[in-house]
Structure 1
Amino acid sequence: MQGLRQEEATLRRKIVGVLLQHARRRANRTPEEVANVLGVTPELISDFEWGRRDISLVELEILAHLYRVPLAYFWSEEISDERSDGKLPVAAIMGLRRRIIAVLLQQARIEAGRSYEELARLLDCPPTRIAAYESAESDIPLVELEAMAQFLGVPMSYFFDQGIQPSGGQLPDMEELKQLAELPADVRRFIVTPGNILYLHAAMQLSALPASTLRRIGESLLDITY
């Protein structure tokens, strides 16, 4: 397997950058506003948009939500006209998503029967960097995650959090409303609070993971607690 070539990575960064800039302008957002959401500098947003710096999938998910475009927009020409107020529990969601992506990467590597060394050769980096990716100690640049996904035989959507995608606006049916009404009052308040929607989506995603994957996520969380 040929490693990720520098010119391919550079081209991909520039393509993503153009799409990021286009989506930001359509959403009527300034670099300063976007930087404030991510907790970074406007200069870094400019670097993302000009393809000078790598963006991670976690950061891309947050920006897709902010710009109200589906994550698939960055792999296709599909564009959404929806808008968002961009109010996300960004720090909490990004931290959890990093750990989920790290565990999913490790799971894909193990299931593909690949080693740290093989991924390191693919990316032309030391094996310790792959270990850092799988322990969520480092953000994974998007171009590198794409290369690893292809190498491991999984689609990029394997890593996506569908909960950060623009909603389709479908209304609940009467049975769903009845079930909601039967929940304890404090649970209902949590569910209907807009700021909690990403926590609920994260819980839904976690509930769909196998027990072995949940165990690894739990262990990784304990590692940073003690």
Structure 2
Amino acid sequence: MVNSLEIRAKKLGVLIRDARTRFSKESTDCAQAMGVSVEKFVAFENGEQAPSLPELEALSYFLDIPVEHFLGRKSINTNQTEQSKLHQLENLLPLRNRIIGVMLRKARIEAGISFEELGKHVEVKPEQIKAFETGTFAVPLPELEMICLALNLSMREFQDQQGPIGKWALQKKSVDGFLELPPDMQQFISKPINLPYLELAQRLSEMSVDRLRSVAEGLLEITL
């Protein structure tokens, strides 16, 4: 009988293959970016195994698509070279696995849940939970999703925030937000001469309601 983890792995495999073929990449390049063997990458695409969040982040970074692509979203390409990205990812993946492990351990202890209890929720052995927490093994995404459910956590908490992938994702989100603005607003923001107005708007947005009310009243007094 196929369980929920296997179904999720199959879906991820389809999305990984779609991402790779969309950008005409070879399995060898994607495997290198994810820090896995070609055989393991093929297993990811076939849904026989599931990648970890750091591995998916690395693939997303390499292909220049957000991790949210694996929920169906799109992205915009950047100009950073593939070799530069691969060099960064070599050191980043092990670090990300350790960080996620520390976060998992902290959340599990705070929730007062044992290895055995969490393993039962996730449908894995307690020893595997221990390996996840030490960063010895990368946490496959389906397992991480189930751990989040068991510990009442958000997947977003585990996504890279401060590293190169996190900064890249934030930049892409900002660009996407800009492109969603009306054309006239985009044009206004793009003109350097309008920078003082944008800075003023930013300062106003940071004011408290009482302070804004005071400023508005002052302006009314000036105009009356």
* TM surpasses 0.5: yes
Q: TM-score, normalised by structure 1?
A: 0.67
Find the residue that maps to 2:3 and give its secondary structure.
helix
- Corresponding residue of 1:20: 16
Find the residue that maps to 1:60 and give its secondary structure.
helix
Contact map agreement 1:27 1:68 (CA 8 A) in 2? no
* In 1: Cα distance, 2:19 partner to 2:67 partner: 11
Q: TM-score, normalised by structure 2?
A: 0.67
Contact map agreement 2:9 2:47 (CA 8 A) in 1? yes
* In 2: Cα distance, 1:8 partner to 1:45 partner: 21
| CA RMSD, 1 decimal | 2.4
- Corresponding residue of 2:158: 159
Rate the CA distance shift 1:128–1:108 in 2: closer, same or farther, 3 A. Answer: same
- How far 1:93 moved relative to its partner? 0.6
Contact map agreement 1:66 1:85 (CA 8 A) in 2? no
- How far 1:6 moved relative to its partner? 4.8
1:81 paired with 2:80, answer no
Q: Which amino acid aligns with 2:74?
A: I
How high is the sequence identity, in percent, across the aligned residues? 34
- Corresponding residue of 2:203: none
What are the superposed Cα offsets for residues 161-218 of structure 1, whole Å, 9 maximum, x if unpaired?
03414433779x99xxxxxxxxxxxxxxxxxxxxxxxxxxxxxxxxxxxxxxxxxxxx
- Corresponding residue of 2:60: 64
* In 2: Cα distance, 1:8 partner to 1:119 partner: 16
- Corresponding residue of 1:49: 45
* In 2: Cα distance, 1:158 partner to 1:132 partner: 20
* In 1: Cα distance, 2:48 partner to 2:127 partner: 24
Q: Within 5 Å, give how 1:30-45 maps onto structure 2.
A: 30-45=26-41
- How far 1:85 moved relative to its partner? 2.9
- Corresponding residue of 1:124: 123
* In 2: Cα distance, 1:53 partner to 1:79 partner: 24
* In 2: Cα distance, 1:111 partner to 1:156 partner: 17
Structure number with the higher helix fraction is 2
- Corresponding residue of 1:104: 103
> RCO (CA 8 Å, sep 6+): is it higher in 1 or 2?
1
1:9 paired with 2:9, answer no
Rate the CA distance shift 1:39–1:104 in 2: closer, same or farther, 3 A. Answer: closer
1:135 paired with 2:134, answer yes
Query: Which has the larger Rg?
Result: 2
- How far 1:72 moved relative to its partner? 1.7
